[in-house]
Amino acid sequence: MGELRRAWLPAGIVVLTALVAWLGPPLQESLSGLRTVGPTAVLVTAAGLAWWFNRGRSFVIAVSLLAAFAASLAWPGKPVYTVLTVLMPLNALLAMISAERGARHGAGWRWLALLALEAVLVNWIGRGPLSGGGEMFEHWALRSPPTPLVGRLAFAAAFAAAVCWRAWPDFTPLQVGNAGAIAAFFIATEWARLPNIFAAFMAAAGAILIAALLQESHRLAFRDELTGLPGRRALDERLRSLPGRYAVAMVDVDHFKKFNDTHGHHIGDQVLKLVGARLAEVGGGGIAYRYGGEEFSVLFPHSELAEAFPHLEELRTSIEKYRMAVRSESRPKKADVGVKQRGETTPGKTLSVTVSVGVAQPGGDSLRTPAQVLRAADEALYRAKQGGRNRVSR
């Protein structure tokens, strides 16, 4: 359920937009221009951030939203509206089923070429013989507004791909935001007859993408991608905010280089994931961090060394006793598929690892700053290594 918390922000934006749009006071005539300028500015910002952060799927969704909003202002008739409710979710669906290759360089220009072709089509429909409608747009599958059946099917496919294929099971902020933007656009198209509501939810879609892009940027900056633990930058920031009472431990995987050379880097990555997962379960209020390479840190805020020591010893023992089943190259990455296959295949080899730990706390003139305490923990780690490894030293 923890991963689902990442859906709270986009859901909150949608709910807040609904409350303001339906229950808030009507927009004053002097501010009516905000219906155009507001969503446009938000969507341009979302597209710019996606381009800057090189996030292809979010870029496609943001530019498609921006183009749809601009086209709806230029040609407010039924034909263009119907085409937009189909093209935008189809673009999102295509982005979801395509590999993430970024927004810049070759991949981004291909997306822009596709969007330019769609713009030509929409322009032809808006200015050409179909601009006044016709029998084609009275067909039951294209009848609108609200969203025609074809558009609803495209929305359902795009949203399902965004949630079930891309967001599940990790629910990273960006993937959740992509799904939220698609949902916000669907709500906008359902209320296209009301300009205030349509504009509000178009702005909401852009706001969801902006928030998701910023969250994703923060996550990549402060969280280690391999282990899922907070990274060294997160540790440094937390240490700066702590009072004088805390303990910090440095944890190092024993003989990791030799282990890596013997079994290969892909097995080494599995070892780091294993150690990271065990460290994340540390008791005593400890918080685990990936420090770099095969080194980790465990911070015990508001605890002294004597209080943290038994939890570190328990952690060391649990890692020592754990037997890791080596993941082969062909083993499924999804846990549920792997569980089903375990009974069908010959058990593979198992490996075990140990860790050495050094722990320190502030005290005296030589251990005042976080940097000094970390250095002391590192020296304690060195003593643990010199003492035979697989031990906790202070």
Q: Which residues are catalytic?
A: 294
244 token code pair: 């004088």
Instruction: Name the packing angle between helices 195-222 and 173-190 (round to 10°).
Output: 180
Question: Measuring CA to CA, which residue among 219, 191, 202 is closest to residue 5?
Answer: 219
- Please give, one letter per residue, the 3-state secondary structure of the chain: CCHHHHHHHHHHHHHHHHHHHHHCCCCCHHHCCHHHHHHHHHHHHHHHHHHHCCCHHHHHHHHHHHHHHHHHHHCCCHHHHHHHHHHHHHHHHHHHHCCCCCCCHHHHHHHHHHHHHHHHHHHHHHHCCCCCCCHHHHCCCCCCCCCCHHHHHHHHHHHHHHHHHHHCCCCCHHHHHHHHHHHHHHHHHHCCCCHHHHHHHHHHHHHHHHHHHHHHHHHHHHECCCCCCECHHHHHHHHHCCCCCEEEEEEEECCHHHHHHHHCHHHHHHHHHHHHHHHCCCCCCCEEEEEECCEEEEEEECCCHHHHHHHHHHHHHHHHHCCEECCCCCCCCCHHHHHHHHCCCCCCCEECCCEEEEEECCCCCCCCCHHHHHHHHHHHHHHHHHCCCCCEEC
Residue whose structure tokens are 């089509």? 121
CA–CA distance, 132 with 255 (Å, rounded to integer): 74
CA–CA distance, 62 with 46 (Å, rounded to integer): 6
Q: Which residues contact 38 (CB under 8 A, 6 or more apart)?
A: 199, 203
